[in-house]
Amino acid sequence: MTASSPPARAPVPTGFKPPRTNLHTTRVLPGFKSSLSLTITYLSLIVLIPLAALVARPWEHGLQGFLFVLTDSRVIASLKLTFGVAAAAAILNLFVGLVVAWVLTRYSFPGRRLLDALVDLPFALPTAVAGIALCTLYAPSGWIGALLAPLGIKIAYTPLGILVALVFVGLPFVVRSVQPVLAEFDAEVEEAAQTLGASPLQTAVRVIFPSLAPALLSGFSLALARAVGEYGSVIFIAGNMPYVSEITPLLIVIKLQEFDYAGAASVALIMLGLSFLVLIGLNAVQLWLSRQGGRS
């Protein structure tokens, strides 16, 4: 094969990006200043000021008091449990959520709409109710717990129970992030893969899932964030044994009940810092993904 002469066009220099257009100097819609000031005021009242208070609070007993809390083995154990189980739950939800979203968008079957609506239930249900229901089911005397007990598997009152509760509250985040992207996936792209000789599995793994990555990641981040902060459903099923199944939010409540406000704020601040780091990390991955894939 030899090259034919090129269609005439100016070469685009490597790294060239068209000028950004999101900060218009002339705008179609008015109200940039008023909407920005509303945004900043609102975010300050709802997010920034309470968090600033949290940062200001722990120093009653000086840095030493804070470090004492930071190195308390009970606090460290609870942090490990909270972030570890939350991550495990989010990872589990990543796979299950993808399957659920896939089934809901790709197949039509009787009851699909009902199933679709069910996905949102964990959003709507008071988490304490969910916790009690799960606990009743998975307790050694419960329907599912009774089946697992002879196998030596204990779910309620163990970290495994926490996992069940966090999977429950996190699932809708992954499903709802992935579903619209999957629904709008260009059918021609799949057909192109097919005509190029890819099997259905290869098409799914090499073509469809990679383009879902940004949506999967944002679903994962939301599910993780939700799981880290979850309190209501967990305390009923966890058993709350210090060092074993005691989550950090519970530890904060315990400190509050003991009127140890500075200690509670210290734990909260550590949690806030860790969550912040995790979210920054996930955002960086998100940015990298979107740089790679780009949007056409």
Interface with another protein by CB under 8 A: which residues? 1-9, 12, 14, 186, 188-189, 191-199, 202, 206-207, 210-211, 213, 292-296
- Closer to another protein by Cβ: residue 137 or 213: 213
User: In whole angstroms, how close is the CB of 188 to another protein at the nearest point?
Assistant: 4
The token pair that represents 272 in the structure block: 């806030």
Amino acid identity of residue 227, one-letter, is A
- Closer to another protein by Cβ: residue 120 or 186: 186
- Closer to another protein by Cβ: residue 169 or 193: 193
Q: Judging by beta carbons within 10 Å of its beta carbon (0-12, 13-18, 19+), is residue 103 exposed, middle or buried?
A: middle
- Closer to another protein by Cβ: residue 99 or 189: 189
The number of residues in the chain equals: 296
Report the alpha-carbon distance of residue 16 to residue 223 in Å, rounded.
36
User: In whole angstroms, how close is the CB of 191 to another protein at the nearest point?
Assistant: 5
Distances 45 to 118, 261, 271, 275 between C-alpha atoms, Å: 34, 22, 21, 21
- Closer to another protein by Cβ: residue 4 or 141: 4
User: In whole angstroms, how close is the CB of 6 to another protein at the nearest point?
Assistant: 4
Amino acid identity of residue 53, one-letter, is A
Residues 6 or more apart whose CB falls under 8 angstroms from that of 176 comprise 119, 120, 219
User: In whole angstroms, how close is the CB of 288 to another protein at the nearest point?
Assistant: 12
User: In whole angstroms, how close is the CB of 198 to another protein at the nearest point?
Assistant: 4
Cβ of 243: how many Cβ atoms within 10 Å? 12
